[in-house]
Amino acid sequence: MQVLVTGGAGYIGSHTVQKLLDAGYGVVVYDNVTTGFREAIPVGAELIMGDVRDKLMLSRVMKDKKISAVVHFAAKLIVSESVEKPLDYYENNTMGALALAQACIENEVGMVVFSSTSMVYAGAEVSYMLTEISPTSPSNPYGQTKLMSELILRDCEKPYGLRSVCLRYFNVAGAALDGKNGQRTKNATHLIKVASEAACGKRESVGIFGTDYPTEDGTGVRDYIHVEDLAELHVLALKYLNDGGRSEVFNCGYGRGFSVREVIDAVRKVSGVNFKVVEQPRRAGDAVYLVADSSKIRKAFSWTPKYDNLELICQTAYNWEKR
């Protein structure tokens, strides 16, 4: 089976490409490399330069490469930036998903695995684990554009036969255990990446954005999933669709949360570096508590995570940053 991976030069995309290759799929990466990296693309995958909003080119690639399924990552993803530049996010993320769906339908590509986010839930200040039927009310344009993309794909199944699995990521972190791949993102905002950079002396400090949240230590709580476990879930989602599964939405997390302070302590422990921490006001669009009830995906895919350990996640991220 030939699989098109949009955004396959990115952090999660490139890890997933490796898992797909390991599973025996042919992989074509479609990326404009504006935020991705050519060197992140594993050997064995073909790179085609293109923009996900270009329906004509997407359609041509699907036809020429005899694509059977798509794993769709290509999107803008910084929450604070989406608040400042919302139209950029609607134009890139939502219109990109629309162009992709249209190209799939034109070329009878019937399966899409979509990179979504827990930000679709972020409207309410909840203190319980989120299930796939929890209210969706995004508090920022990033989450809104992802939810709109989910709805586009959902509405394509009945009339067009385009089936999809939407994977709602919680906080993704870490690096490949063999040290060959990790997060290369410039000016990253992900906490574990930022803390690892500080531990390596690449940043002067780590910011804690908000210390007055209604949590045990006053900082936001997140569910962190190792990138290797998440990449494997994309392969399992593709198998699910290939076996005839209907369109579904799944949470991707471990089912337990850690506060910002707990994560900083974990990175300090694995690195042995007591880097500087600066307390700052809350950021626009940030949620209080985002923890996944992942029972649905565990059951549907018979999935047991391999790397459910905060220190291991932080250790692999720090090891990658040192390299």
Give pLDDT tens digits for 110-128: 999 999 999 898 664 566 7
Number of domains in the chain: 2
Same domain, 272 and 159: no
Q: Are 97 and 144 in contact (CB under 8 A)?
A: no
DSSP element (H, E) containing 209: strand 205-209
Same domain, 166 and 275: no
Residue 103 CA to residue 63 CA, distance in Å, equals 10
User: Mutual orientation of helices 191-199 and 310-322 as an angle, nearest 10°?
Assistant: 50
Same domain, 240 and 261: no
Same domain, 98 and 8: yes
Tell me if 297 is assigned to some domain.
Answer: no
Residue 175 CA to residue 173 CA, distance in Å, equals 7
Enclosing domain of residue 309: 176-222+255-292+304-322
Strand 224-226 and strand 171-173: pairing?
A: parallel
pLDDT of amino acid 215: 92
Same domain, 166 and 190: no
Using pLDDT thresholds of 50, 70 and 90, give the confidence band for residue 65. Answer: very high
Tokens at residue 4, please? 């098109």
Q: Which CATH number belongs to the domain containing residue 77 in this structure?
A: 3.40.50.720
Residue 206 CA to residue 196 CA, distance in Å, equals 9
Same domain, 113 and 236: yes
Instruction: Give me the half-sphere count of Cα atoms (radius 13 Å) on the Cβ side of residue 299.
Output: 5
Same domain, 54 and 151: yes
Residue indicated by tokens 């329906």: 55
Tell me if 298 is assigned to some domain.
Answer: no
Same domain, 103 and 192: no
| pLDDT tens, position by position, 5-64 | 999 999 999 999 999 999 999 999 999 999 999 999 999 999 999 999 999 999 999 999
Asked if pLDDT for residue 288 goes beyond 90, the answer is: no
Same domain, 259 and 120: no
Tell me if 299 is assigned to some domain.
Answer: no
Mean pLDDT in residue range 81-91 = 95
Mean pLDDT in residue range 87-91 = 97
Same domain, 149 and 195: no
Q: Tell me how crowded residue 117 is: count the other CB atoms within 10 A of its CB.
A: 27
Lowest mean pLDDT of 41-55, 92-106, 280-294, name the range.
Answer: 280-294
Q: pTM here?
A: 0.95
Tell me if 31 is assigned to some domain.
Answer: yes
pLDDT of amino acid 286: 75
Q: In sequence order, which residues have a C-beta less than 8 Å from that of residue 43 and are 6 or more positions away?
A: none
Tell me if 211 is assigned to some domain.
Answer: yes
Q: Which CATH number belongs to the domain containing residue 194 in this structure?
A: 3.90.25.10
Q: What DSSP string describes 31-85?
A: E--SSS-GGGSPTTPEEEE--TT-HHHHHHHHHHTT--EEEE------HHHHHH-
Tell me if 76 is assigned to some domain.
Answer: yes
Tokens at residue 99, please? 């162009």
Q: Residue 108: left (phi > 0), alpha (psi -120 to 50), or beta?
A: left
Same domain, 262 and 199: yes
Active-site amino acid positions: 142
Tell me if 241 is assigned to some domain.
Answer: yes
Q: Are 281 and 80 in contact (CB under 8 A)?
A: no
Q: Are 49 and 4 in contact (CB under 8 A)?
A: no
Same domain, 139 and 196: no
Residue 119 CA to residue 240 CA, distance in Å, equals 24
Mean pLDDT in residue range 146-166 = 98
